[in-house]
A and B are shown apart, each in its own frame.
Chain A
Amino acid sequence: GAVVSQHPSWVICKSGTSVKIECRSLDFQATTMFWYRQFPKQSLMLMATSNEGSKATYEQGVEKDKFLINHASLTLSTLTVTSAHPEDSSFYICSADGLLAGASTDTQYFGPGTRLTVL
């Protein structure tokens, strides 16, 4: 079954509104979560690394004031797209780094993604 969930799975909003996306690790604690964005027919691009209890580390070219990341607990990270515009329409995917019970090594598990459409 799924080990990382995302909510919502899709969202349509008007330009200028803010959208919050949640990423939860279901069966393990994730000290580190990652947020990616994927435009059609393009690769997944890492936006930021989210560490529990500290500020996120953003990749070059990603505006930290526009994409607010909060990692308040070991099982939850949120990405808020503030003042969304049509060019922010994309597939946002989170991943969580962790060790499942019975596993021998850390693995990165991906959420099912959130499809954002900004009108």
Chain B
Amino acid sequence: RKEVEQDPGPFNVPEGATVAFNCTYSNSASQSFFWYRQDCRKEPKLLMSVYSSGNEDGRFTAQLNRASQYISLLIRDSKLSDSATYLCVVIPSGNTGKLIFGQGTTLQVKP
């Protein structure tokens, strides 16, 4: 079983739609969780950290459910510029700084 699993998609949605991505992780002792965004042929860039209490940044909302080992990202009012691959990232236990990446979920926002 992969350490971090995501539905690769692609998700094709119209502008203005709300879309949700899910991610599960296998190591219950994992400490930190993030969503990164990766554009084609570019490096990943941090979108937001994910906390148990949930957190929101503009149109983006991230949730963590430790009991179910499940992370989600909700994008409201999708823009064309949101088209990218969204990577679920986990730091396993210990303070090594190692990031474990999911395969990524591809989002295509259509006009």
Contact = CB atoms under 8 A, between A and B. Distances in A.
A43 B43 CA distance: 12
Interface residues of B, number: 18
B96 to A, nearest CB: 7
A49 B100 contact: no
A43 B45 contact: no
A52 interface: no
A97 B100 CA distance: 15
Given A42-B103, A43-B104, A34 B97 contact: yes
Give chain A's interface residue range (CB within 8 Å of chain B).
20 to 34
A43 B41 CA distance: 13
Nearest to B89: A44
B47 interface: no
A43 B42 contact: no
Nearest to B99: A108
B51 interface: no
A90 interface: no
Contacts of B104: 43
Contacts of A107: 46
Interface in B52-111: 87, 96-104
B45 A110 contact: yes
Interface string A78-119: 000000000000010101010000000011101111010000
A46 interface: yes
Contact of B103 (A43, A46, A95, A97): A43
A15 interface: no
B44 interface: yes
B7 to A, nearest CB: 13
Interface of B: 4, 8, 41-46, 87, 96-104
Given A46-B100, A110-B43, 8 more contacts: A34-B99, A43-B102, A44-B87, A46-B98, A108-B97, A108-B99, A111-B43, A112-B42
Interface of A: 32, 34, 36, 41-46, 49, 91, 93, 95, 97, 106-108, 110-113, 115
Nearest 3 pairs of A and B residues by beta carbon? A110-B43, A44-B101, A43-B103
